[in-house]
Structure 1
Amino acid sequence: FQGYSGDVAQGVAYMIPTPVIRRFLTDIKDGHYDKYVDLGLTPGNLQNPAQRRYFGLPDDGRGVVVRTVIEAGPAGRVLKEGDVLLSIDDHAIASDGFVELEGERVEMPEVVERKFKGDKVKFEILRDKKPLTLTIELDTVWPYQVQAHHYDTRPRYVVYGGLIFQPLSLDLLDAYQISDPRVRHYFDYYILEQLYLQHPDIIVLTNILPDPTNTYLGPYRSSIVDEVNGKKIATLNDLAQAFAEASDRFVIKMIGQGPPLVLDRKEVESARERIRTRYNVIAEQNLEEQPVATKATASSGTPHS
Structure 2
Amino acid sequence: MPIRKIIWMVLLNTLFLTASAHQENGTKEAIVKIYTNAKIPNYQEPWNSSMRSSTGSGAIIEGGYILTNAHVVADQAFLEVQRYGQRKRYIAKVYAVSHQADLALLKVEEKAFFEGVKPLTFGSLPNVEQKIVVYGYPMGGSTLSATIGVVSRIEHHTYAHSGESFLAVQVDAAVNPGNSGGPALSDGKIVGVVMQMISKSQNIGYLVPVNMVKHFIEDMKDGKYDGFADLGLGTQKLENPAMRRYYGLDDNVSGKLIVKVVHNSSLAGLLQEGDILTAVDGHNVENDGTVEFRKHEFTHYQHFVDAYQMGEKIKLDIIRDKKNMQVEADLDYTADDMYLVKTTRYDEMPSYFVYGGYVFSPLTRNLIVSTNLNRLKLSNLAGKWQEKDKSEVVVLLKVLASDMSRGDNDFAMWPIDKVNGEPFKNFKEFYQKMEAVKSQYIVLEDNDGVKVIIDREEAQAKQSAILKKYNIEFDKSIDLRK
TM-score when scaled to structure 1? 0.75
Matched, 1:262 2:472: no
Deviation track 1:51-92 (CA, whole Å, cap 9, x = no partner) reads: 656545565355443244334433344212221233322334
Kindly indicate whether the alpha-carbon contact (under 8 Å) linking 1:147 and 1:187 is maintained by their aligned counterparts in 2: no
Secondary structure class of the residue paired with 1:125? strand
Following superposition, the deviation at residue 187 of structure 1 comes to 3.0
Give the match's secondary structure for 2:206: coil
The answer (yes or no) to whether the contact 1:126–1:132 under 8 Å persists in 2 is yes
Kindly provide the CA deviation profile for residues 177-227 of structure 1, in whole angstroms up to 9, marking residues without a partner as x: 1432xx6324315545x5755542222111223333333320333322232
Aligned to 1:216: 407
Shift, 1:137, TM fit:
1.3
Gaps of 5+ in 1: 290-305
Spell out the pairing of 1:16-35 with structure 2 (5 A cutoff). 16-35=208-227
- Tell me the CA shift for residue 168 of structure 1: 1.9
Q: Which has the larger radius of gyration?
A: 2
Q: In structure 2, the residue corresponding to 1:273 is in which secondary structure? A: helix
| Structure 2 equivalent of residue 161 of structure 1 | 356
More helix by share: 1
% identical aligned pairs? 28
Show CA shifts across 1:136-187 (max 9, x none).
1122133447263221122122211121111222211222x1432xx63243
What residue in structure 2 maps to residue 174 of structure 1? 369
- The residue correspondences of 1:89-168 to structure 2 (distance < 5 A) are 89-101=281-293, 105-138=298-331, 139-141=333-335, 142-144=337-339, 146=341, 148-168=343-363
5+ residue gaps, structure 2 = 1-158, 162-175, 178-198
Greater shift, 18-27 or 29-38, is seen at 29-38
Change (3 A) 1:161 1:66: same
Q: Is 1:187 the equivalent of 2:382?
A: no
Alignment length (residue pairs): 283
Give the letter aligned to residue 132 of structure 1: M
Corresponding residue SS for 1:214: coil
Q: Is the 8 A contact 1:211 1:275 kept in 2?
A: yes
Shift of 1:111: 0.4
TM-score by length of 2: 0.50
- Which of 264, 269, 280 lines up with 1:88 in the alignment? 280
Q: How many Å separate the matches in 1 of 2:431 and 2:236? A: 42
| Distance (Å, rounded) in 1 between the aligned partners of 2:315 and 2:387 | 27
Greater percentage in strand: 2
Alpha carbons 1:64, 1:95 under 8 Å: kept: yes
Deviation at 1:10, TM superposition (A): 10
In the alignment, which residue of structure 2 is the partner of 1:253? Answer: 445
State how far apart, in whole Å, the 1-side matches of 2:240 and 2:456 are.
64
C-alpha distance in structure 2 between counterparts of 1:163 and 1:61, whole Å: 56
- Secondary structure, counterpart of 1:237 in structure 2: helix
In structure 1, C-alpha distance between the alignment counterparts of 2:400 and 2:240, rounded to whole Å: 59
Taking a change above 3 Å as real, the CA distance of residues 157 and 9 of structure 1, as seen in their structure-2 partners, is: farther
Q: What secondary structure is seen at the aligned counterpart in 1 of 2:444? A: strand
Q: Does 1:207 align with 2:392?
A: no
Q: Which has the higher contact order (CA 8 A, sep 6+)?
A: 1
Query: Contact 1:189 / 1:195 at 8 angstroms: preserved in 2?
Result: no
| Equivalent of 1:225 in 416, 426, 431 | 416
